[in-house]
């Protein structure tokens, strides 16, 4: 085995043990209390999970996309919210690595070891339609003055550093990096979402925040490209989260169907149950292969937009459907708030919307297919 | 203090299968992990190092891919590792394993403390540590559940079935530890990458001045005649299905009969 394989094996051994002991036992409590209990975030920082894919020159472990996704898959098997919190941080690091100038990288990437970075595009007037946003940055002398309101930010309120998309001209989108400690930065409303309740999702308000050119991510006008890039990176990791959710669902249904008897026969012996269990297993494995392929393409500097969209679109629909099948197998227990199946459906449902809706994914996939054949 | 921690890589799963021909554990297709008791031994070594300084060396005997587990110990904080790997070591029982490990300890030289977990979770013998101590002619304390390091000695506490002991032991010493002695840390993600700057040295049989008759299968008097997975325990429970009041009275009677409850209760 080479260094990459050995590192990956050691990382996944650790994450498996961490998930089994520190994450999975608290899954229900995280969902019900809508917060990370068991000092999970302190432990995540202590063991440097936040630095998994941060390049070594900035103090990180420098793991590739495939290994990082496998790690998130494992964490999400215990709790999907924690997987999404890490996904939001990693996609933000990815964009600073890819587009940041050297001064920006030197300032913020070493901080990513202990401070969560968030990526923020959505506003009340624009989500999938980025030109609908109203936040803007205006150049005054050497400084940019940023004003606006960003909502529904994954890790909003928890993150301390934000990559924000603003208009620098009526039809020109650009990204800046702002810090919660900057003058003019305020936290706003926290969302009260149906699923992934451990992940804080919130608003930030920017009132005349002044930053220099070094805080510009990429160049002026590169907002759409950077936004698309962040979406692609996020979708790969969401495929990993969704695989984790389906593994969780599969664990629950196989355990239940093996022990639950009807007419003195474990219900796993009954064809109606078998079909549902098999469908969940196939969907789980398919999503896993899709996100692994997307991550592999990314690591090898090839196009991965389509595979990333497939992993998220197929994975989210499948995880919701699998959760519904799991609920049906468990019957009344599945419908109970005292058992985890219902919250897995709520968790998966979020990912049919976040980071581009399933409909948007299908459009992207169809257009890429058409383009490839043109 | 120079400390050597001997670790064993064991199959990941608790669903261990036995190879019918070799009567040994069938490791094919099984991922490996560090024997959990050995992680407590490593944590003990790292705590001693933090308190009184020193050097922690980890060592294992096995095929080349066991280096993954050694690399993991380096990520956890060990300073260097030694892999004892040679086809001649194959088929070793606890005696032949203890012999090779003991010879390696001698080759390292000036070792103050040899640490092991109380046993491995796959074979469960707990014999390798004591065998090594006998071969090295150094004192041994087994089943330690607390260790306080002083300059040239260790204060050790051990809880046995009917007795609690406190022992002050001079160095050099061999110590095996229980899983209640400490809480091992998880591997730090960044330290995994950094661990590749630390050395893993491989020693083959020819480098250890071994008596061939005491190595591998030749040096293993243990003969496994048969081995089997335990039968699933039959249900021995007694179900009380009568009226709750009567059932409660019956339950109390049963508990008293088994001396779990006394007449005073």
Closest residue to A3, CB basis, from B31, B186, B196: B196
- Within 8 A of A10 by CB-CB distance, chain B residues are 68, 71-72, 75, 187, 192
pLDDT bin (cut points 50, 70, 90) of residue B29 is low
CB proximity A49 to B under 8 Å: yes
CATH superfamily name and code, A3-113 = Acyl-CoA dehydrogenase/oxidase, N-terminal domain (1.10.540.10)
Closest residue to B189, CB basis, from A9, A17, A52: A52
Alpha-carbon distance A221 to B37, whole Å? 57
Q: A5: nearest CA in chain B?
A: B68
Alpha-carbon distance B53 to B49, whole Å? 4
Q: B197: nearest CA in chain A?
A: A3
Q: Which two tokens stand for residue A51?
A: 């630095």
Give the per-residue pLDDT at A215.
Answer: 98
User: Topology of domain A117-219, per CATH?
Assistant: Butyryl-CoA Dehydrogenase, subunit A; domain 2 (2.40.110)
Alpha-carbon distance A75 to A80, whole Å? 7
pLDDT at B228 over 80: no
Task: Tell me which of B58, B192, B195 to substitute to probe the interface with A (most A C-beta atoms closer than 10 Å).
Answer: B192
d(CA B260, nearest CA chain A) in Å: 31
pLDDT digits (tens, 9 = 90+) for B163-198: 999 999 999 999 999 999 999 999 999 999 999 999
Alpha-carbon distance A244 to A291, whole Å? 12
Is the ipTM, as predicted for this complex, more than 0.90? yes
CATH 1.20.140.10 region(s) of chain A? Answer: 225-373
- Within 8 A of A61 by CB-CB distance, chain B residues are 189-190, 192-193
Give the per-residue pLDDT at B226.
Answer: 79
Residue A355 catalytic? yes
In contact, B184 and B43? CB cutoff 8 Å: yes
Give the per-residue pLDDT at B134.
Answer: 96
- Within 8 A of B190 by CB-CB distance, chain A residues are 48, 51, 59-61, 113
Strands (E), chain B: 2-6, 9-11, 18-19, 24-25, 32-34, 55-61, 80-84, 113-117, 140-144, 146-149, 153-159, 164-170, 173-177, 200-203
Give the per-residue pLDDT at B30.
Answer: 67
Higher-pLDDT residue of A355, B231: A355
Every domain of chain B and the residues it spans: 2-214
Closest residue to B193, CB basis, from A14, A17, A56: A56
Give the per-residue pLDDT at B261.
Answer: 86
CATH 1.10.540.10 region(s) of chain A? Answer: 3-113
Q: Average pLDDT by consecutive 10-residue portion of chain A (374 residues)?
A: 94 96 97 95 98 98 98 98 98 98 98 98 84 95 97 97 97 97 97 97 98 98 96 98 98 97 96 98 98 98 98 98 98 96 98 95 97 93
pLDDT digits (tens, 9 = 90+) for B89-146: 998 999 999 999 999 999 999 999 999 999 988 877 889 999 999 999 999 999 999 9
- Within 8 A of A18 by CB-CB distance, chain B residues are 186
Q: Indicate the pairing of strand B18-19 with strand B24-25.
A: antiparallel
d(CA B67, nearest CA chain A) in Å: 9
CATH 3.40.50.620 fits B2-214, yes or no: yes
d(CA A60, nearest CA chain B) in Å: 6
- B111-132 CB burial, b ≥16 within 10 A, e <16: bbbbbbbbbbbbbeebbbbbbb
CATH class assigned to A225-373: mainly alpha
HEC secondary structure over B177-190: ECCCCCCCCCCCHH
Beta-carbon separation of B188 and A10 below 8 A: no
């Amino acid at each position: 085995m080479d260094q990459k394989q050995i590192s990956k094996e050691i990382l996944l051994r650790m994450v498996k043990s961490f998930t089994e002991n520190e994450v999975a036992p608290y899954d229900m409590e995280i969902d019900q209390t809508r917060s990370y209990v068991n000092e999970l975030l302190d432990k995540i920082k202590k063991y440097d999970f936040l630095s998994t894919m941060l390049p070594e020159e900035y103090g990180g472990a420098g793991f590739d996309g495939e290994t990082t996704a496998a790690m998130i898959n494992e964490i999400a098997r215990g709790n999907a919210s924690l997987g999404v919190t890490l996904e939001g941080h990693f996609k933000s690091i990815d964009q600073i690595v890819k587009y940041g100038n050297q001064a920006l990288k030197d300032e913020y990437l070493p901080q990513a070891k202990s401070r969560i970075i968030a990526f923020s595009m959505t506003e009340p007037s624009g989500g999938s339609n980025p030109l609908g946003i109203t936040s803007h940055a205006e150049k005054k002398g050497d400084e940019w003055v940023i004003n606006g309101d960003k909502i529904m930010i994954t890790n909003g309120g928890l993150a301390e550093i934000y990559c924000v998309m603003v208009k620098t001209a009526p039809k020109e989108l650009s990204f800046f990096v702002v810090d919660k400690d900057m003058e003019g930065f305020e936290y706003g409303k926290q969302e009260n979402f149906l699923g992934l309740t451990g992940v804080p999702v919130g608003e930030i308000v920017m009132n005349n925040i002044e930053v220099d050119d070094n805080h510009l991510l990429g160049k002026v006008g590169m907002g759409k490209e950077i936004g698309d890039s962040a979406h692609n990176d996020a979708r790969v990791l969401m495929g990993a989260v969704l695989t984790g959710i389906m593994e969780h669902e599969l664990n629950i249904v196989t355990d239940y169907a093996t022990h639950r008897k009807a007419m003195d026969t474990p219900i796993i012996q009954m064809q109606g149950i078998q079909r549902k269990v098999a469908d969940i297993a196939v969907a789980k494995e398919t999503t896993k292969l899709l996100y692994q392929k997307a991550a592999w393409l990314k690591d090898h500097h090839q196009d991965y937009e389509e595979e990333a969209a497939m992993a998220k679109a197929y994975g989210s629909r499948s995880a919701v459907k699998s959760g519904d099948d799991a609920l049906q197998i468990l019957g009344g227990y599945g419908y109970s708030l005292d058992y985890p199946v219902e919250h897995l459906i709520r968790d998966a449902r979020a990912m049919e919307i976040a980071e581009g809706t399933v409909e948007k994914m299908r459009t992207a996939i169809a257009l890429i297919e058409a383009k490839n054949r043109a | 203090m120079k400390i050597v921690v001997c670790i064993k890589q064991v199959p990941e799963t608790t669903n261990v299968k036995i190879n019918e021909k070799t009567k040994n554990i069938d490791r094919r297709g099984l991922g490996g992990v560090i024997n959990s008791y050995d992680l407590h031994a490593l944590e003990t070594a790292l705590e001693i190092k933090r308190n009184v300084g020193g050097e922690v060396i980890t060592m294992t005997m096995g095929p080349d891919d066991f280096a993954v587990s050694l690399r993991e110990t380096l990520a956890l904080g060990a300073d260097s590792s030694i892999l004892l790997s040679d086809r001649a070591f194959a088929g070793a029982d606890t005696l032949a394993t203890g012999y090779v490990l003991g010879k390696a300890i001698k080759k390292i030289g000036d070792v103050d403390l040899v640490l092991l977990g109380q046993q491995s979770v796959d074979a469960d013998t707990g014999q390798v540590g004591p065998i090594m101590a006998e071969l090295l002619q150094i004192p041994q304390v087994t089943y330690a559940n607390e260790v306080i390091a002083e300059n040239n000695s260790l204060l050790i506490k051990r809880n046995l079935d009917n007795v609690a002991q406190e022992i002050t032991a001079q160095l050099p010493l061999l110590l095996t530890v229980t899983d209640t002695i400490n809480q091992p840390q998880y591997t730090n993600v960044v330290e995994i990458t950094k661990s590749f700057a630390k050395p893993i040295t491989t020693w083959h049989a020819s480098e250890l001045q071994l008596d061939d008759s005491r190595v591998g299968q030749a040096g293993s008097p243990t003969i496994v005649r048969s081995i089997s997975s335990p039968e699933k325990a039959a249900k021995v429970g007694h179900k009380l299905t009568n009226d709750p009041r009567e059932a409660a009275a019956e339950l109390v009677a049963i508990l008293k009969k088994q001396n779990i409850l006394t007449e005073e209760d």
